[in-house]
Amino acid sequence: MIRKISAHYIFPVSKPPVKFGIIVCSENGEILDVIDNKGVFKEVSSLEFYDGILVPGFIKTDFESDQIILERMKARQSQESALSLEDIVKWVTLDMAGITKEDHILGSFEKGKFPGVYLINKIDFTCLKLTAGSQVKNLLPLFEKK
């Protein structure tokens, strides 16, 4: 079964954020396509739409939770106000995947990768920033290529 997942923004990490884009993935979590709708919401059969931003799954240690990583992201944003949300997302996804030497399958939304799909909601869309109330939800867990 193919899933089509969309939100206000997709942060592919390897490219700039995509407004109202669609992530197409297989049942085992492989990214088949990232569709850029050029900022226009389009109704598509079986589309799952979420309020927030879609980001690749967080790369974490056994002792971390997704919520702890989100709190670190919020702290970094408040400490370094010039840092964009795009850069903060890259820090916990692609940069960490590179450190763990798994960036060939994790860390960004690119065809053939298995990064998982996370939703971060309660975003300040006027300046694309996390808020104190931002929460993370795992929509599609990280998968390892077999």
Model confidence pLDDT, tens digit, residues 58-107? 987 778 899 999 999 999 999 998 899 999 999 999 888 888 898 899 99
- For the stretch 125-146, pLDDT in tens is 999 999 999 999 999 987 654 4
Query: In the block, which residue shows the tokens 């390892």?
Result: 144
Say what the pTM is: 0.93
Nearest by Cα to 119 from 134, 106, 138: 138
Residue range 3-140, CATH number: 2.30.40.10
